[in-house]
A and B are shown apart, each in its own frame.
Chain A
Amino acid sequence: NAGVTQTPKFQVLKTGQSMTLQCAQDMNHEYMSWYRQDPGMGLRLIHYSVGAGITDQGEVPNGYNVSRSTTEDFPLRLLSAAPSQTSVYFCASSYSRASGYQETQYFGPGTRLLVL
C-alpha cells in the first residue's frame, strides 16, 4: 500500500500560471480532501469529496477547483496562481463518513508551492 501520494513535491509558479496538484490513494477511501498549511495558521480545508462525482467547498475554496472522476484520484487545480497561494498543500483520505462515524484522515507527504 502506497497510502496517499502527492505530486509534485515542490513547484515554483509565476503569477497567473495554472497548474494541477495531483493526489492519489490506494486504500479505497471514499472521502478525500485538500488542505493548505500556512505558518501560524494550522491546516485549513480547501475542498473535499465524499465519493466519485461529489465535491464540496471547505473553509478556503477561492482560487481552487477540484473534480473527482475516480475513487483513487482527487486533483487540485489552480487556474491563475497568485502569491497568496504560496503554501504547503496536503491531501488526505479516509473511509466514508456516511454513517456519521468519524474516520481518521491519513495525509499525503505534501506539495510545497511557491508563487512568484
Chain B
Amino acid sequence: AQKVTQAQTEISVVEKEDVTLDCVYETRDTTYYLFWYKQPPSGELVFLIRRNSFDEQNEISGRYSWNFQKSTSSFNFTITASQVVDSAVYFCALSEANDFNKFYFGSGTKLNVKP
C-alpha cells in the first residue's frame, strides 16, 4: 500500500492565485516525520520543511504554509500569491520511527504557475 499519496498529479494556476498541494500519509507508528521537498525544472531536490508527529502546530514561512492534521493523516502545503518561480514538482515524504532509515516519497505534484 502506498504510504504517501499525492493525488494531484498536476495543477495549473495563474500568478498571484493561492494553491494547496495535498499530501495524505499512512502509518501505524505514533512517532514519525513528514517532509516537503521542491524539485524545480533544474532537477535538484530542495528541502522545504520537516514536521514530527507530536507537533501539530501549523507553520508559516513567508508565502508558504503547512497544515498538519493527524485526524485526517494529512500534511498539506499552501502557497499564497503564487509566483512563476514556484513552478516545480513538489514531493511529500514520510519517515517512521520503526525504521528511520527509510524515506517514503509520494509521486509528486507538478505545479505550473502561469504569468
Distance in angstroms from A2 CB to nearest chain B CB is 13
Q: Does B50 contact A (CB under 8 A)?
A: yes
Complexed CA–CA distance, A111 and B6 (Å): 25
Q: Does A53 contact B (CB under 8 A)?
A: no
Q: Does A24 contact B (CB under 8 A)?
A: no
Complexed CA–CA distance, A101 and B32 (Å): 9
Specify the chain B residue showing the minimal Cβ separation from A42. Answer: B105
**Cβ A45 vs Cβ B103 within 8 A:** yes
Contacts of B45 in A (CB 8 A): 43, 90, 92, 107, 110
Distance in angstroms from B102 CB to nearest chain A CB is 6
Q: A42-B107, A43-B91, A102-B33 are in contact. Are A31 and B101 (CB under 8 A)?
A: yes
Interface size class, chain A: 20 to 34
Q: Does B44 contact A (CB under 8 A)?
A: yes
**Cβ A97 vs Cβ B102 within 8 A:** no
Residues of B bordering A, CB below 8 Å: 4, 6, 9, 31, 33, 35, 37, 43-45, 47, 50, 52, 91, 93, 95, 97, 100-103, 105-108
Tally inter-chain residue pairs, CB-CB below 8 A.
56
Complexed CA–CA distance, A31 and B103 (Å): 12
**Cβ A44 vs Cβ B44 within 8 A:** no
Complexed CA–CA distance, A33 and B43 (Å): 18
Q: A102-B33, A102-B50 are in contact. Are A109 and B108 (CB under 8 A)?
A: no
Q: Does A105 contact B (CB under 8 A)?
A: yes
Q: Does A50 contact B (CB under 8 A)?
A: yes
Partner of B106, one of A42, A104, A110: A42
Complexed CA–CA distance, A56 and B102 (Å): 10
Specify the chain A residue showing the minimal Cβ separation from B91. Answer: A42
**Cβ A105 vs Cβ B107 within 8 A:** no
Complexed CA–CA distance, A101 and B50 (Å): 12
Contacts of B95 in A (CB 8 A): 102
